[in-house]
Amino acid sequence: MQNFGNDQLATRTCWQCKSSKKKCDKLLPTCSRCSRLSIECAYDGEKPDAAPSNHDSNDTKFEQIFQRLERLEHLISNPDSPTTTRTSASHEPPPSYVSNIDHSCQPPSWQVDPGQLKQEYVGFMLWGSVFRIMSESHTTIDAVADNYFKWTHQWLPMISRSRFDTGLERLKVYSTDRGSSLTILAMHLTVTPVSEHPGSTPLSDSPWYRACKYYFSYFASVEEPTVDIIQAGILLALFEHMQSIDNKALTTLGICGRLACALDLDDIVAQALIREPGEISSEVEEAIQTWFALILLDRFHSSLLSIRNHSK
């Protein structure tokens, strides 16, 4: 173990900052970056002890995320308050996703004036909802993704696993990528047994379903259309159809159809038909698969509705 000077600064960069190639302020006993991220800080040049079991590691990650979430919520509600208990010693600027938030809108006003709810706040709420719902259902985003690609994806292949995994890694830290957060919520609905939903009688009152439905409706109406949002909507409609939640699936599919037309997915499909297989990029291929998944689910749902109407 190295000797510490009287100025309470370490003589070398901590292991975590060095391995991440980040600037370290060398504060003792914990540097500002490790303190902010709620991770162990080690200055002896040795890698910290390996994490115990996968279960314990996941619990620790969730605890760290919830601690950071609480601090960020405090920053949003009290922008003028100190960001940490060591403000006088820390010179590290706040994270970009905190400093870029417009504090002119305070959370209490959301309750009386929805017009004050900025898109960046909704994105932050969506990110927090993902980890809250994962915690409530005693699972992880990795487990949900693995379960989805093992079962649902086999007969409804539309999401690129490699691209999704890239977004998933950003989501574990913090990401403004609404598509990845929304998609994991929709995946969670399709792979989670109905009996595990809290307040699942009727299922339309499930807070997990209502959260996913709310975020999809919001971003579908205020954000620029993306393939991610369409894919999340298709999975949401699949859940509504399989669980017979009124006729919500038809409405959700209609929204997905409008978003798909706004992205000209039909033209992309038509142009791909005259190309050689090697000339199609992975992004175009995923867009084509999403278009056909939308058509498939819409026809399947409509055919069942027709059968029900004829049987009456």
Please report, for residues 20, 184, 269, 273, 295, the alpha-carbon distance to residue 280 in angstroms, rounded to integers and kept in the order given: 36, 27, 11, 10, 21
High-pLDDT (> 90) share of the chain, %? 38
Residues 6+ apart with CB under 8 A from 115: none
Q: φ and ψ at 9, to 5 degrees?
A: -120, 140
Among the ranges given (211-220, 269-278, 292-301), the one the predictor scored with the smallest mean pLDDT? 269-278
Q: Name the nearest CA neighbour of 182 among 159, 216, 208, 207.
A: 216
Higher-confidence residue: 70 or 55? Answer: 70
The DSSP code for 49 is P
C-alpha span between 15 and 22 (Å, rounded)? 10
Q: What is the pLDDT of residue 208?
A: 95
Tens digit of each residue's pLDDT (9 = 90 or more) over 91-104: 444 444 444 444 44
Q: What is the pLDDT of residue 53?
A: 43
Tens digit of each residue's pLDDT (9 = 90 or more) over 141-188: 999 999 999 999 999 999 999 999 998 888 887 766 788 999 999 999
Residue labelled with tokens 């995320």: 65
Over residues 119-134, mean pLDDT:
88
Q: pLDDT band at residue 16, thresholds of 50, 70 and 90? A: confident
Residue 9 three-state SS: strand
Q: Are 124 and 177 in contact (CB under 8 A)?
A: no
Q: Are 235 and 222 in contact (CB under 8 A)?
A: no
- Averaged confidence pLDDT in the chain: 78
Q: What is the pLDDT of residue 111?
A: 53
Q: What is the pLDDT of residue 61?
A: 57
Q: pLDDT band at residue 306, thresholds of 50, 70 and 90? A: low
C-alpha span between 242 and 281 (Å, rounded)? 33
What would the two tokens of residue 138 be? 């005693």
* pTM, full prediction: 0.66
Task: Count other C-beta atoms under 10 Å from residue 250's C-beta.
Answer: 15
Residue 152 three-state SS: helix
C-alpha triplet 149, 152, 157: angle, nearest 5° = 75
Q: What is the pLDDT of residue 210?
A: 94
Q: What is the pLDDT of residue 12?
A: 86
Q: What is the pLDDT of residue 66?
A: 61
Q: What is the pLDDT of residue 308?
A: 61
Residues 6+ apart with CB under 8 A from 280: 272, 288
Please report, for residues 106, 147, 186, 218, 298, the alpha-carbon distance to residue 153 in angstroms, rounded to integers and kept in the order given: 41, 9, 13, 26, 17
Q: What is the pLDDT of residue 184?
A: 96
- For residue 29, whether the previous peptide bond is cis, meaning omega lies within 30 degrees of 0, is yes
Q: φ and ψ at 88, to 5 degrees?
A: -65, -30
Q: What is the pLDDT of residue 284?
A: 92
Chain center to CA of 109 = 25
- Top mean pLDDT of 59-73, 75-89, 201-215, 292-306 is at 201-215
Tens digit of each residue's pLDDT (9 = 90 or more) over 132-143: 999 999 999 999
Q: What is the pLDDT of residue 59?
A: 52
Q: What is the pLDDT of residue 150?
A: 95
Residue ranges covered by each domain of the chain: 118-311
